Structure 1
Amino acid sequence: MAKLKLSGKDLRAIGYPESPIISFAMEIMEKNYKRNSKEHALGLLKAVLVRPKEYAEDEILGKIARALIERDEKAAAKAAATVDLKVTGVPYNIFGAEFIEEGALTQMNNAVRLPISILGALMPDAHQGYGLPIGGVLATENAVIPYGVGVDIGCRMCLSVFDINPKELEFRTDYFSRELNEATLFGSGREFKKRSDHEVLYRKEFREIPILRTLRDRAESQLGSSGGGNHFVEFGIVDIPEKDSTLGIDAGTYLGLLSHSGSRAIGANVANHYTKIAKDKRHLPPDAANLAWFTLDEEEGIEYWLSMNLAGDYASACHHVIHNKIAAQLGRQPLKMVENHHNFAWKEMYEGKEVIVHRKGATPAGKDVLGIIPGSMTAPGFIVKGKGESGSINSASHGAGRKMSRTAALDSITANALKDELQKHGVKLIGGGLDEAPFAYKNIQTVMNAQKHLVEMLGTFTPKIVKMDDTPPRQRKKVKEVMGE
């Protein structure tokens, strides 16, 4: 009798699923039942497929049975974890709808259809991102969405106002440029040779949470540094038209130091690590997959929440290291420091119950909460005070917002056009690239006009000496991929 020879077509014909189980089953049958007829072998395989548990203990057929059982269990677990979006989403308000791109609206429409969503809002600087759109605000019930927070966890603005005549920036441009260069370090993966110290580095989370243990050394080496992209440290002119009791600065013109950056490698790695776990735990439709969440009762949710808060505190520490270095060199302490963050989730009250408010690229704007909303490297930023508008979930824009993708900016903006724009506004740029040119951003005045009932404008910050990453934009992407940032 000829040796038994089976084909994948034979097994598929009797109902075997298209999977590695087919070749596995063929190998076992051809080895152990080689003197049996094809009909007999296929009859056994059919019986195992239909009643795998009956054959689970069989010395030979049990191997196939157990593989089928394991596959069924995994499929059942995946089916149980599959989450459908609601047909109708919870309500959300849109501010500045006339200049928000369609991609951001599509992402927000998905977010408000999550079964955990309570309320949403879209800020006037909104544009498409990953998961929740940039400029998206989402309140959820007992749940946190890692990509609803974003990759650069706790990214923030920090402004120090000094009682120094800002004309010094014009008279001593080289001096202030040198101070920026000596006190800062930009770029993905960049690390200081001489490290700074801060209490955040001794937090227990670095010892207790596995992902953070692996990042502790990089956190120390990057403390006080800034990333690439739209991150900056700049000197400029602060104008306060009249004294406000919340801000506490007399009307006048001052020298300001403004910085924008986030949590460096910590934020990126925490976001990607926990997003993967969340996506494995809850399977959403493909166009909403990045909105996978944890409840705050789950171990992973508790771990992410602690890691997110540490990343936010680390981002703040990076700013304080920069500002303290420069204040020491200036020989002055600031009259006032204003600081706010985005790319974060907060526990807040809504209609008498606690909710989790995600602000991905949105500034907290609760009643009398201070913040900074920047423009571009040539456009003014604004010192603001929140009005506590419930319709925006106590939020406002985090900047002007992009109107061009980085690729589009690189393809359409020339170096001469950027040079002319900088000269027109009397701005000195150190580093930076065409992808961050002012033309790539929306008009900050238009954005601010769209949110007059969200924030009160207390003053302005006009950039004069701007320091940014000098890594070529396309090379930045490769560095990020290598360094995991």
Structure 2
Amino acid sequence: MEQLVLSGKELLAIGFTPSPAVAKAMEAVQRSFPADQRNVALEQLRSVLLQPLLFTSDAVWSDVALALISQQNETVPLIPPVPYTSYGEAFIDEGARGQMQTAVRLPVAVAGALMPDAHQGYGLPIGGVLATDNAVIPYGVGVDIGCRMCLSIYDIPESHFYTNESKYKRELIAHTKFGAGSGFSGSDRSDHQVLSDDGFNTTRFVSELKDKAYTQLGSSGGGNHFVEFGILEMLAQENELGIPKGKYIALLSHSGSRGLGATIANHYTKLARSVSRLPKEAAHLAYFDLDSEEGQEYWRAMNLAGAYASACHEIIHDKITKSLGAGLLARVENHHNFAWKEHHNGRDVIVHRKGATPAGKGELGIIPGSMTAPGFLVRGKGNPASLNSASHGAGRQMSRTKANQTITSETMRKQLKESGVTLIGGGTDEAPAAYKDIHQVMAAQQDLVEVQASFSPKMVRMADDGSRED
């Protein structure tokens, strides 16, 4: 009987990398499989690749499994750092700077930038931007994939809010839902075309998240996620939105892809760490080659989560707009916690913006402040040194734990009252004092964005218990 012969090219196509494991796999296949079982052999090899520890005593695959484990135990060395630019260096914490310095030493790193709202996170710092060579880093994107801002500007004058605050509060509560694990059931659930997105067919793992996504569609998480009414002031008579200079009631929201994105992020981060063996200090920056099967899976799942996050905002804004009977003058949306295929410095790269706003030339975005500090509608200047990026907010200056330990509810209530802001839900971990001065942050990025309008929060809805996202 003719025995099966696999080529090295076929093995590389299913995820093997050039190593002794390739030769071991070719030998095992030729020894154990007839020529008509190519698909069976390849499927088994995929399983060995994913979990070699399960095959160390297997009669067919033990030599392949041991070779893969030996390969995995060999860490990929870091390289000398590629250059990166920092903005607002004076008020970026040491932890964030250290994480960025590690990120730009990855073998796939091409360029980087650190935004003025940066603070320490996992993998890339929050406010970190990293361009890589055909590689995607799950923790360079973040856990809340596609987290974004969305702004609706209404044809309602400022005065209407102050004479109808009870109505705005009623509608804000009625059409939002917050908290880790929160969602809808039965007829309260919303339909949206995103539920038909082909991304749900990426793998069985992703498809099994569809019911959870349906339940949470149109809801917001915990932590720093919010939906708020405020007064938007257009500062220029002529602008891209065609809205006359003046003050308008507006709705601003911040949230992401809920449990769908969090589950995808955690799954693929673990998988990346098994594929990309990095030194301990860089372990959270494990990456996929974008041409690999795992890289393509993650890319599709990431884009699904981004589309889902956008759909959540659309549902929230449409519900509230309808309930107000308002005319919509404009809606602006941008996301962060994502990776994009872009062209910088004459080459194609993957740009990760973890807590950073896309700011290409002429691109509109929203940079919020805090419960009491203004946010800004901005237009990007397309600065290549920042990889066409800007901050995604004011940025934390206190951890959640420190904020809860040092800021009292009474202090926070006093500050809210002085600023004329009504808070529904929320906790001291999100108190204004936990955040950097948004004016300092904006001053540090004048080369990155141009302010088009300011937004002053007036009524803020957050998770009732200050809970973290899923």
- Same-fold call, TM cutoff 0.5: yes
Shift, 1:192, TM fit:
0.9
Partner of 1:164: 156
* TM-score, structure 2 normalization: 0.85
Q: CA deviation at 1:206?
A: 1.3
* The one of 102, 111, 118 aligned to 1:126: 118
C-alpha separation between the residues in 2 aligned to 1:70 and 1:262? Answer: 41
- The answer to whether the 8 Å contact 1:244/1:458 transfers is no
**What is the Cα deviation at residue 283 of structure 1?**
1.0
Tell me the equivalent position of 2:77: 84
TM-superposition CA deviations, 1:141-166 (whole Å, max 9, x none): 10100000000000000000001012
Cα drift, residue 332 of structure 1: 2.1
**Structure 1 length-normalised TM:** 0.83
- 2:219 is equivalent to residue 214 of structure 1: no
Structure 2 counterparts to residues 58-207 of structure 1, below 5 A: 72-80=66-74, 82-86=75-79, 88-193=80-185, 194-207=188-201
Q: How does 1:69-468 map to 2 (within 5 A)?
A: 72-80=66-74, 82-86=75-79, 88-193=80-185, 194-468=188-462
Structure 1 residue 98: Cα displacement: 0.3
Distance in 1, Cα, partners of 2:61 & 2:315: 56
Q: Measure the CA separation in 1 of the matches of 2:229 and 2:300.
A: 34
Cα offset, 1:387, TM superposition: 0.3
Change (3 A) 1:327 1:458: same
Structure 1 residue 75, shift from structure 2 partner: 4.0
For residue 460 of structure 1, give the secondary structure of its aligned residue in structure 2. Answer: strand
Give 1:115 shift.
Answer: 0.7
How far the C-alpha of 1:172 sits from its partner, in A, is 1.2
SS of match in other structure, 1:163: strand
The verdict on how the C-alpha distance between 1:65 and 1:156 changes in structure 2, with shifts beyond 3 A counting, is: closer
Q: Does the residue aligned with 1:462 lie in a helix, a strand or coil?
A: strand
| Greater shift in the superposed pair: 357-366 or 283-292 | 283-292
Distance in 2 of aligned mates of 1:231 and 1:169: 22
Amino acid in the other structure paired with 2:85: N
Cα separation, 2, equivalents of 1:231 and 1:71: 44
Does the CA contact (< 8 Å) of 1:247 and 1:370 recur in 2? no
CA 299–244 in structure 1, closer or farther in 2 if over 3 Å, else same:
farther
- 2:113 and 2:387 in contact (8 A); partners too: yes
State the partner residue of 1:49: none
| Cα distance in structure 1, aligned partners of 2:431 and 2:417 | 13
What residue identity is the alignment partner of 1:146? Answer: P
Over 3 Å counting, the alpha-carbon distance change for 1:213 and 1:237 in structure 2 is: same
Instruction: Tell me how far apart the structure 1 counterparts of residues 58 and 163 of structure 2 sit (CA, whole Å).
Output: 81
Q: Is contact 2:239-2:452 (8 Å) kept?
A: no
TM superposition shift of 1:67: 11
Q: Is the 8 A contact 2:202 2:300 kept in 1?
A: no
Q: Deviations over 1:259-288 (max 9, x none)?
A: 000000111011011110100011111111
The RMSD of aligned alpha carbons is 1.8
Could you tell me how far apart the structure 2 residues matched to 1:208 and 1:366 are?
Answer: 30
For structure 2, the 5+ residue unaligned runs are 1-56
Distance apart, 1:76 and its partner CA: 2.1
Aligned residues with identical type, % of pairs: 58
Q: Is the 8 A contact 1:431 1:469 kept in 2?
A: yes
Call closer, same or farther: CA 1:77–1:411 in 2, change over 3 Å: same
Check 1:244–1:363 CA distance in 2 against 1; reply closer, same or farther (3 A cut).
farther
Instruction: Note closer, same or farther for the CA distance 1:277–1:331 as it changes in structure 2 (3 Å cut).
Output: same
Give the secondary-structure state (helix, strand or coil) at the position aligned to 1:407. Answer: helix
Instruction: Indicate the structure (1 or 2) with the bigger Cα radius of gyration.
Output: 1
> 1:347-368: CA deviations, max 9, x gaps?
1101222110000000000000
Distance across 2 between alignment mates of 1:156 and 1:197: 20
Contact 2:199 2:303 in 1 (8 A): no
Kept in 2, the 8 Å contact 1:121–1:393? The answer is yes
Q: Number of residues paired by the alignment?
A: 413
Amino acid at match of 1:116: V
Amino acid at match of 1:360: K
